[in-house]
Structure 1
Amino acid sequence: MTWRAGLLLGVGALTLPAWPAPFLGVAVLTAAVLLLVLLDRAMAVPPDALTVTRSGERTVRLGATATVTLHLANPTDRTLYAQIRDAWVPSAGARPDVPPDRLLTVPPGGTATLPVRLTPTRRGDRPAVALTVRSLGPMRLGARQRAGTPATPRWTLRVLPRFDSRRHLPEKLARLRVIDGVQVTRGRGHGTEFDTLREYTVGDDVRSIDWRGSARRADVLVRTWRPERDRRLVCVLDTGRTSAVRLGDEPRLDTAIDAALLLTALAARAGDRVDLLAADTEIRARVTGSGRPALLARLVDAVAPLQPALAETDFELIAAEVLRRERQRSLVVLFTALEAGAIGDGLLPVLPRLATRHRVVLAAAGDPVLNRLATATPAGPDDPYAAASALRALAERDRVRAALSRYGVTVVDVPGHRLAPAVADTYLRLKSLGQL
């Protein structure tokens, strides 16, 4: 029943003074309106006779807008008068072009298109949750509506990471080209892989002279070297409890994902193989470096649905998985938090096995609030206690960093907004030194 039925009753009530018996008038008017409502409802198009499909985008980057269109087909021989509500999860940021309170008219055999603009506010999978169709009769007095009819067409929009750090990629690639080109042309340099033989020129390092080749050619030849290629890089994302901590306006996990994407793009262009592993108490995602042209796209798709788990990370599981998958010596970059409890009880016991076979880098996004609390001038009675707590947390980070260094682990501990370029710089430095 719609508001029109109430309006009709109100108009009929104006005639009650003309009735010989008011109660009889009320009964007759009510019965007449109910009869009209039932008749109008019977003339409405049944919702289960409608056909609903969707089309549109399946993926969108966080911060961008995608369009998904709902197609509502009316296969009956009656005109459809309906109100449509297409509901998505709140974080999908759905804005329908046709508001739910607007009456939609679809002729017999016709199809209506209802675009929905989606501007997600969170990374991950954002599904459509419910479609409600309210079919009204031609007099707009009665309506048919039943939950789940027609069935909501399934559609999930995958929200990809923003990848803000890609703005650093041109500068890092330029440095990579300098490392690659200069070391090949200037002789020994810091490269570790033999490239070619060429004639000696003044200024070349005499240690690069190839005496056997020189004897065969009756000329002085020097070896040229290039940075390592076809090395293995493993990015490990800690998706446990500490990854849920917010650094500014995003969780620590999102900061780590952004840094891992920049490192992957850089390493793939450098000719290295990149694998990715995400885990907490179980393995959440795996990506292997096969098929390098599509590696970054596959990695972005794999990390998009990752969410922090409110559980302690099982570093024993991570170490066992890395050792099982990576038989050759690799550079393992572990994105986690430099937290004394998690590192001391979880990572340090398994670190000797991991560091014996692989080169390990621990990348941690620090919380700028700690430094701000530790250095702020007290303005109230509680501020000294906050400063003392922050100083204690920073001291614990220093002790953890020292413990990791004793195992030969390279620690990258910087604020979140600097993590991605700092990790890329560490990779370039290790590559130039031949230490991957």
Structure 2
Amino acid sequence: MNFFKQLYITNFFFYCLIGIIMLFCCAFMFPVLYNATWYILLMLLSFFTIDILILFSNKKGIDAQRTAPEKLSNGDENPIVVSLKNFYTFTIHIKVIDEIPVQFQVRNFEINRKVKNASTDEFQYTLRPTERGEYSFGNLNIYVSSPLQLVSKRYRFDNNQMVPTYPSYIQLRKYDLIAFSHNLFQYGVKKIRRIGHTMEFEQIKEYVPGDDIRTLNWKATAKKNSLMVNQFQDEKSQNIYMAIDKGRTMKMPFNGMSLLDYAINASLVLSNVILKKQDKAGMFSFSKKIENRVVAEKRTSQMQKILENLYNVKTDFFESDYSRLYADIKKNINQRSLIILYTNFETMDGLHRQLPYLKGIAKSHLLVVVFFQNTELYQITNKKSETIQEVYDKVIAEKFIFEKKLIVTELKKYGIHSVLTQPENLTLDTINKYLEIKARGIL
């Protein structure tokens, strides 16, 4: 029974069979072909039998294994490695059909390769998940053919492998040193000119050309008989909270991912930068109520706590309750903090409904509202209009783009900082805004 489950006839065999049938048809008109066609058929059946014998004589002809990461990184290309060892005494042709998770909706996955006798081969493919959660792999199916390629023998490996998909830890590694880099422009982060300096004293050191002469310490200079200056550092242990709106405004898709998942990925990377700058990182999500709360701290386990809570953000896409957000912040965050709010406003009317609560938060904390540009509108405005309908669409698109800029101006009037960004630039722009606030010392 297992023999018939493993045996598959190749397309090449069927093509040969069709050719022989056509020869039999031609033999009615050219009888001389009749005997030759029978010989060809017998040869095909002989090779067919030989092919079965050489493939199935070796019970363990190959060994294969799929190696996936312990967890997938959401929104990134994740490598999946397939390693295979050939125990046959001849070069084999293989067709790999991996049963990848249903979330990818890939129905034509196939890899074809040749593997030399008694050798090992390794190859990989990539998967880009667009939502968090559990991804279950099925069987790794490998169809093996001999050089005759008349039949294939199917092997199955790695049944039911589950891999969780977490917020983008690949981006986390990419920007791991950004907090200390002196070449931030390489990452797309603009340089910020420091206005004055913070008053958190670090040490007294010898003057070197380029130091601010206004920080000269005259008492230390008199004792050392050389110029000495006071050195200051950025204030540390400041509270930084990331508030993630998981309401319906964050459901808009971009490159297969929702705005919510872009915000989650950016929050993870920014948390790492915050902790490396010796500040306290915290987060929470909100819609109808406040959930996934992590109190701002800078413990060694803080990143793991934030990662697990970001992974567990459940989306309901209801209308977000900003009055609940304001009340919760007023009750639970007593110390002045930087609150980075990931949300989205499409119109001025949408902003004005929530503006009283944003103004209330900004009275006690430094509030940064992060919202998104609609990149599809820019595609419409950059396209040449040829019909009246296209002209109308272009005017409406320009109206919405201008309204986004008005939202930035409106927030600025009330001392609320803002970041208007494209989804793909969200991580860099939020990191840059945080570093700007630290450099200016306005928290």
Question: TM above 0.5, one fold?
Answer: yes
Identical residues among aligned pairs (%): 20
- Counterpart among 356, 364, 383 of residue 357 in structure 1: 364
- Aligned position for 2:435: 428
- Within 2, Cα distance between the matches of 1:194 and 1:331? 22
State the SS of the aligned residue for 2:378.
helix
Taking a change above 3 Å as real, the CA distance of residues 175 and 235 of structure 1, as seen in their structure-2 partners, is farther
The one-letter amino acid paired with 1:205 is D
- Within 1, Cα distance between the matches of 2:282 and 2:321? 19
Contact 1:120 1:159 in 2 (8 A): no
Q: Give the superposition deviation at 1:225.
A: 0.5
- Aligned position for 1:337: 344
Taking a change above 3 Å as real, the CA distance of residues 125 and 168 of structure 1, as seen in their structure-2 partners, is closer
- Counterpart among 56, 73, 76 of residue 61 in structure 1: 73
State the SS of the aligned residue for 1:174.
coil
- Aligned position for 2:134: 126
- Per-residue Cα deviation, 1:76-100 (whole angstroms, up to 9, x for no partner): xxxxxxxxxxx998428799xxxxx
Q: Give the superposition deviation at 1:211.
A: 4.9
What TM-score comes out, normalization by structure 1 length?
0.61
State the SS of the aligned residue for 2:403.
helix
- Aligned position for 2:168: 162
More divergent stretch after superposition (390-399 vs 320-329)? 320-329
- Aligned position for 1:327: 334
What is the root-mean-square deviation in Å for CA atoms of aligned residues? 4.1
- Within 2, Cα distance between the matches of 1:207 and 1:289? 35
Q: Give the superposition deviation at 1:356.
A: 1.6
Q: Give the superposition deviation at 1:433.
A: 1.7
Q: Would you say 1:295 and 2:307 are equivalent positions?
A: no
State the SS of the aligned residue for 2:345.
coil
- Aligned position for 1:270: 277
- Counterpart among 301, 309, 322 of residue 315 in structure 1: 322
State the SS of the aligned residue for 1:398.
helix
Q: Give the superposition deviation at 1:323.
A: 2.6
Q: Give the superposition deviation at 1:377.
A: 1.0
- Per-residue Cα deviation, 1:332-361 (whole angstroms, up to 9, x for no partner): 111111322432212x11122211211111
Q: Give the superposition deviation at 1:255.
A: 1.2
- Per-residue Cα deviation, 1:181-233 (whole angstroms, up to 9, x for no partner): xxxxxx99634311112345666434313456567778764311111211111
- Aligned position for 1:418: 425
State the SS of the aligned residue for 2:291.
strand
- Aligned position for 2:199: 192
- Aligned position for 2:212: 205
- What pairs with 1:97-176 in structure 2 (closer than 5 Å)? 121-126=129-134, 158-163=164-169, 165-166=171-172, 167-175=174-182
Contact 1:278 1:286 in 2 (8 A): yes
Q: Would you say 1:258 and 2:265 are equivalent positions?
A: yes
The one-letter amino acid paired with 1:194 is F
Q: Give the superposition deviation at 1:172.
A: 4.7
Gap runs ≥5 in structure 1: 1-55, 68-86, 96-117, 129-154, 179-186
Contact 2:221 2:228 in 1 (8 A): yes
Contact 2:279 2:298 in 1 (8 A): no
Taking a change above 3 Å as real, the CA distance of residues 188 and 349 of structure 1, as seen in their structure-2 partners, is closer
- Counterpart among 379, 383, 396 of residue 386 in structure 2: 379
Q: Would you say 1:91 and 2:103 are equivalent positions?
A: yes
- Per-residue Cα deviation, 1:292-334 (whole angstroms, up to 9, x for no partner): 3232222222112324433211112222222323222211111
- Within 2, Cα distance between the matches of 1:364 and 1:227? 27
State the SS of the aligned residue for 1:311.
coil
State the SS of the aligned residue for 2:399.
helix
- Within 2, Cα distance between the matches of 1:336 and 1:432? 25
- Within 2, Cα distance between the matches of 1:235 and 1:252? 15
- Alignment size in residue pairs: 315
State the SS of the aligned residue for 1:229.
coil
What TM-score comes out, normalization by structure 2 length?
0.61
Q: Give the superposition deviation at 1:60.
A: 3.8
The one-letter amino acid paired with 2:408 is R
Q: Give the superposition deviation at 1:279.
A: 0.7
The one-letter amino acid paired with 1:61 is S
Contact 1:169 1:266 in 2 (8 A): yes
The one-letter amino acid paired with 2:167 is P
The one-letter amino acid paired with 1:299 is I
Taking a change above 3 Å as real, the CA distance of residues 299 and 92 of structure 1, as seen in their structure-2 partners, is farther
- Counterpart among 215, 224, 248 of residue 231 in structure 2: 224
- Within 1, Cα distance between the matches of 2:105 and 2:70? 15
- Counterpart among 397, 400, 422 of residue 404 in structure 2: 397
State the SS of the aligned residue for 1:234.
strand
Gap runs ≥5 in structure 2: 1-67, 82-98, 108-125, 137-160, 186-193
- Per-residue Cα deviation, 1:243-287 (whole angstroms, up to 9, x for no partner): 100123211111111211221111111111000011111123112
The one-letter amino acid paired with 1:253 is L
- Within 1, Cα distance between the matches of 2:130 and 2:209? 59
- What pairs with 1:233-244 in structure 2 (closer than 5 Å)? 233-244=240-251
- Aligned position for 2:311: 304
- Within 2, Cα distance between the matches of 1:238 and 1:313? 7
Contact 1:92 1:126 in 2 (8 A): no
The one-letter amino acid paired with 1:409 is I
The one-letter amino acid paired with 1:158 is P
- Within 1, Cα distance between the matches of 2:180 and 2:72? 26
Contact 1:267 1:274 in 2 (8 A): yes
